[in-house]
Amino acid sequence: MELSDPVVAYRSERVVLSFLDFAIVAVELLLGLRVILRFLGANPATGFVSWLYSITEQLLSPFAAAFPAAVYDGMYVVEFSAISAMIIYACIGWFIMKIFMFFVSFVARPKRRVFIT
């Protein structure tokens, strides 16, 4: 099979789109778990919660001062910055996938030949 084979091109496109989709879902899942654990008041001294907070802290750094965290009844914390980060990362991921699909369709479009007689 050659690289110009449409089946190979389609499979390559699907692999890249699957990887992008996996990365977006992983980021959303990590941030979603952080929102849930912070809301339920999970102990940050435990191993998993500490690891999750340290990983997601890097993802939240661009949004850290955007919105303050709201505390309800002195225990329930709602991190609006994490929720906004989830929305922004989902939009960025969707936009990257659409741009990739546009360029793939532009490159894979068959060339029209014009014959002048």
Amino acid at 117: T
pLDDT tens digits, 49-102: 999 999 999 999 998 888 888 888 888 899 999 999 999 999 999 999 999 888
Range of the domain at 93: 6-108
Residue 113 lies in a domain: no
Q: How many domains does the chain have?
A: 1
Residue 76 lies in a domain: yes
Q: Which uninterrupted H or E stretch holds 70?
A: strand 70-72
Q: How far apart are CA 49 and CA 103, in angstroms?
A: 40
Q: How far apart are CA 55 and CA 68, in angstroms?
A: 20
Q: Show Cβ contacts of residue 51 under 8 Å, excluding neighbours closer than 6 positions.
A: none
pLDDT tens digits, 8-38: 666 778 888 899 999 999 999 999 999 999 9
Q: Which uninterrupted H or E stretch holds 30?
A: helix 6-40
Residue 114 lies in a domain: no
pTM: 0.78
Q: How far apart are CA 42 and CA 34, in angstroms?
A: 9
Residue 35 lies in a domain: yes
- C-alpha radius of gyration, the chain, whole number: 21
Residue 115 lies in a domain: no
Residue 1 lies in a domain: no
Residue 28 lies in a domain: yes
